[in-house]
Structure 1
Amino acid sequence: MSRRAPVFIITGGQGQCKTTFLHLVIGLTVGLNVRVRGVISPGYLRDGRRSGFTLVDLATGEHEELSSIDPDPRCEAHGRFYFRPEGLLFGRRALAPPDPRETDLMVVDEVGRFELQGGVWAEQLDRLTAHPHPPMIWTVRRRLLHTVVERWNIQNPVVVDVGTASVMETAEAVMDAVWEWREAQTFSAVPTPSLPGDRIAAPALCADAAAGGSPGAPAILRRRYGPEG
């Protein structure tokens, strides 16, 4: 490809529902048979306080606990959270560089200070951004946005602020990028000359598409989560 596919960055402050927004966008795209890989990490509360995160592999719908505030000598400590080795291995496998012939969209929820310090998903992000990649969606806290863009040299970020953005419009923009990616893969694999009017139109998002995904989507995409930060 002559240029890299875009990286959509869903951003906002702590507690502004970045993961919830991402969840809805993914539900719409999966409803259009987009092949999604990566992870989403809904948080959970205990006594009204964020106490941990669950990790979901978007390609399979499988779950693994990623971290909690409960001390554990087996775990990597980052801030006040203890990251389970099983959760880290699970996530690193899910974030391995995808086969471009089998992946339309890569998701990383979320990229933050731990990655900027070289931990958690930092190595996977280095590998994902080192070569041409499918369109990606990352979630990033607003105060870290510019640092993350500079750290991974994201040349064409599409910033989506949850405070003002529309889920539907974001999903449409993602689908446009996915369709361009699919076309690029098709024409690079089959070098045939194009004729006027040959461009395949991307399917329009249907107004009645379920925000949680189609019946054939992984079960996790049909669940509802509370706000996250």
Structure 2
Amino acid sequence: MYSGANVYSYMNGRPPVFIITGEQGQCKTTFLHQVLGLIVGANVRVRGIIAPGHVRDGRRSGFTLVDLATGEHEELCSIDPDPRCEVHGRFYFRPEALAFGRRALAPPDPRSTDLLVVDEVGRFELQGAVWADSLDRLVGHPHPPMIWTVRRRLLHTVVERWNIKNAVVVDVGAASVMATADAVMDAVWEWREAQAFSRVTPAAPQADCIPCLSLLVADAAAAGASQNSPIILRRCYSP
């Protein structure tokens, strides 16, 4: 059912859904952040959410939600009781943060979005809560390549629940950040070419260019790559 991180195909005309997976606490969000750090310098138009977690006394205590399109953030949930909040598991989800996240996950305009990120899809979504309705809408519409993070033990259930036929599974225990970023960039480039080709008016020529090398080198170093590692360079995309 699944392809490796360096292989993907548009099955049934659909862009791939990259699924970053691993055990609980295996730094799926960190891996995702490093992948995004390697591609944002190539002018990729990213939408969606990333949810870094917080730890208190050695246990997960909550999450912050970041809108990747705007950089704005909200406290998503906490283990601290709050009567205003939705309770899922041991977490109290702030209603304003849930509304914030659902806006960020609204079906995108395919002409102005290259990549959609959902961090993370888990047991609450499988129970029909949190981002479940947003995911239903996303997979029901034409969408660009996507990246989801999913806990390993829930992987097959998530794929079946949302009927993902074109999953590219990236296991953080074995995958390379650089190779994953390269595969995502290939998918983005094919998506942009398809969108340009489908327009009635010819798309403006897109020249090759080199993104900010200092930023990419810094991001590669943060991802554990040496300064001599190859930098992923792709064409700059027109707004």
Shorter-chain TM-score: what band?
0.7 to 0.9
Q: Structure 1 136/156 Cα, relative in aligned 2: closer, same or farther at 3 Å?
A: same
**Counterpart of 1:150?**
160
What is the match of residue 141 of structure 1?
151
2:24 & 2:164 partners in 1: Cα distance? Answer: 23
What's 1:90 paired with? 100
SS of 1:64's equivalent in the other structure is strand
Q: Percent identity?
A: 77
Amino acid paired to 1:141: R
- Aligned-partner Cα distance in 1 for 2:137–2:217: 34
Matches within 5 A, 1:185-200: 185-190=195-200
1:40 aligns with 2:50: yes
Q: How big is the shift at 1:206? A: 6.7
Unaligned runs of 5+ in 2: 1-9, 222-239
> 2:61 matched to 1:56?
no
Q: Shift in Å at residue 190 of structure 1?
A: 3.5
Q: 2:139 aligned with 1:120, yes or no? A: no
Scaled by the length of structure 1, the TM-score of the pair is 0.85
> Is residue 76–residue 85 contact of structure 1 (8 Å, CA) maintained in 2?
yes
Structure 1: gaps of 5 or more residues: 193-197, 214-229
- Given the two structures, how large is their TM-score scaled by the length of structure 2? 0.81
3-state SS, counterpart of residue 37 of structure 2: helix
- 3-state SS, counterpart of residue 109 of structure 1: strand
Question: Counterpart in 2 of 1:77?
Answer: 87
Aligned to 1:184: 194
Residue in 2 that maps onto 1:210: 218
**RMSD in angstroms over aligned alpha carbons?**
2.4
Residue 202 of structure 1 deviates from its aligned partner by: 9.9
1:222 paired residue number: none
Instruction: Label 1:205 to 1:115 Cα distance change in 2 as closer, same or farther (>3 A).
Output: farther
Q: Give me the whole-angstrom Cα distance separating, in 2, the residues matched to 1:122 and 1:41.
A: 16
Conserved? CA contact 1:23–1:212, under 8 Å = no
Q: 1:11 aligns to what?
A: 21
* Counterpart among 22, 37, 41 of residue 27 in structure 1: 37
CA deviations on 1:159-203 (whole Å, 9 max, x unpaired) are 0000000000000000000000000000000477xxxxx998898
Structure 1 stretches of 4+ moved >4 Å: 198-208
1:159 has 2:169 as partner: yes
Cα gap change, 1:95/1:178 in structure 2, threshold over 3 Å: closer, same or farther?
A: same
- Once the two structures are superposed, the pairs formed by residues 106-117 of structure 1 within 5 Å of their partners are 106-117=116-127
